[in-house]
Structures are given as structure tokens and as C-alpha cells.
Structure 1
């Protein structure tokens, strides 16, 4: 069972993540947010924490998707996201935990 924490702003999400570093298993973030670009949020998270980050956007351009992967996203989902895709997100958490136990 997972608990979801929702934030309306990237700055708020970053603050919550910093205050509770060991309480989260994964971050799912939109690329386009009003206060911070999703790629900027991704940079902060990957440099400060060991959390898998999934980016979501309606922007399916190859260069945008590749930017997410280059910046360290473990996945980039195109909106609208299918429910079958969401059901598989747990696999990123399992992979991260497996890497940390080796």
C-alpha cells in the first residue's frame, strides 16, 4: 500500500522531500509547472536524493523526452497516461530498493 503526497508547486514538493528524505519511494512530476520547470526539479532531486523520478507531459517531442532521460528520469510518460502504465510504476520502486540492497 502506498501513501500519496500531492503538491501544487514544485518548490513545495522539494521542501517536503528535503524534510522527509527517507519517507518517499518515488516522485512523479509534471514537466510543465507554474513555479519551476520539471527538469529543474528533477536536477534537484537526483543531486540530493536517491529517488526514482518519473516525468509526465503532453509534450511527446523526442528532444524533450530525451532531456528527461538525460537529466536522470527513470521514465517519461506521455499524457494521457493509461491506467495500465500507472499500474507498473511500482517496478521502479522495486528496482531502486534492489540496487540499494546489493
Structure 2
């Protein structure tokens, strides 16, 4: 059974969403404040399939909570907000959100997005379970133990950092990362590259792994935010 944690201070909305998700066969935990949500996260982080997180909360704001979530978990996060602001959406994606929904929204749209996020998360976990040490995508196989990559059955010659970068993005398929986040995660250091250097590094990796040099099939650019590994592969 998939377990969803909802962090929102709107008790009426939480009750409605919990009822709908429970009817879909999910187990739904509800926290009405950021501090309660973080407590529930700590207690259930290994069992969660999704977190639904409101931006506006009475104690901690959603972006602060999201940063904490990303320190300890890769569970998908769907952010909710009453603000129809592109800036809020960009901040959320840059901080590590997987999707964004603006209030008011239809329950059917919410459940569709919940299903999609959980399905992607479960699929990636199943890849690890079925073929330990390998990631398998359309046309690509990453051998984690031997640090090799094959595209369309042809082995690709990657440098150590190119492999690390590809593995990091592939391990988080569909999640958007800024250039700074990529650098701090892959190089494990404070951000010292400028954006043009990161862009150049990704461009070189793309030229090696993309089946069609004119089409970014695996590593996609999310304009104004950063990069992600294609969620459809």
C-alpha cells in the first residue's frame, strides 16, 4: 500500500483529499503544521511514497520544509499553493519539488498527479530491486558497479565525473535540479563553477550519450530552472 503524507493547515481540504486517496487504496497521513509534518516524516520516511506540501503554513513555510525533506529523502513532493506565481513555482522546483498545483484545483487533477508521481517513483525503485547494480532505460543501460554506460548496445566512453553526473540525474529521474544543486551533489563541494561551466559540462555529456545530437532525449533542459533526466524513458 502506498503511503502519502499531507502537510497543510486547511483541515477541510485535508479531510477531502484524505478521503479521496483512501478510496484509491492509499494510506494518508495528515499534518496541520510544518513541525508536525517534519515529525511524521522522520517517523515514516522509509515508508512514504509521496508528500503533498502546502507553501503557506502557520509555523514553517513550505520551502523550508522542502529543503529539510531533501536532506533526508528522495520521496516525490507535490507542492500546493494559493499563489498563482511563476516565481513560487520556480523556487519550489529549484528546491526539489517534483510537481506544483495551484489552489483551487479539482480533486481529479490532484489524484491524477499523485498517481503519476507515485508510479514514476515506484518504477525507479523496482528497477533497483529487479536488477541490482543496474539502471535500465529506453536504449540505455547503466552498470553502477562497473561504472559503464551503453546506449543502443554501444559502450560509451565517459570520464569519472561524466558518469557521476549521469548516474545522479538517472537515479532521480524526472526531478529538476539547478546547476548549483547538480554541482554540490556530484562534486560534493561548495559551488565554485559558474553557470556557463556547468552548461558546457552537460553539453559534452549530451554529445556522448544522446542518440540524436540534435535532440535531448535523456537529459532535458527545464528553462529558467535547470536540468532533469527524462521522466518518460
TM-score (norm 2): 0.42
The structure carrying a bigger strand percent of its residues is 2
Q: How many residues align?
A: 102
Structure 1's unaligned 5+ residue stretches are none
> What is the CA–CA distance in structure 1 between the aligned matches of 2:120 and 2:98, rounded to whole Å?
10
- The counterpart of 1:25, out of the listed 30, 49, 58, is 49
Greater RCO structure (CA 8 Å; 6+ sep): 1
Deviation at 1:87, TM superposition (A): 2.2
Q: CA RMSD in A?
A: 1.1
Larger radius of gyration: 2
**Counterparts of 1:49-68 in structure 2 under 5 Å?**
49-68=73-92
SS at structure 1 position matched to 2:89? helix
1:71 equivalent in alignment to 2:71: no
**Counterparts of 1:1-20 in structure 2 under 5 Å?**
1-20=25-44
Structure 1 runs (4+) deviating above 3 angstroms are none
> What is the CA–CA distance in structure 1 between the aligned matches of 2:45 and 2:53, rounded to whole Å?
17
Per-residue CA deviation, residues 33-83 of structure 1 (Å, 9 max, x unaligned), is 011010011111112112101110111111111111111111110000112
The structure carrying a bigger helix percent of its residues is 1
Deviation at 1:84, TM superposition (A): 2.2
> What is the CA–CA distance in structure 1 between the aligned matches of 2:44 and 2:93, rounded to whole Å?
25
Deviation at 1:26, TM superposition (A): 0.5
Map of 2:222 onto structure 1: none
- The counterpart of 1:99, out of the listed 124, 131, 134, is 124
> What is the CA–CA distance in structure 2 between the aligned matches of 1:52 and 1:60, rounded to whole Å?
21
Deviation at 1:100, TM superposition (A): 2.1
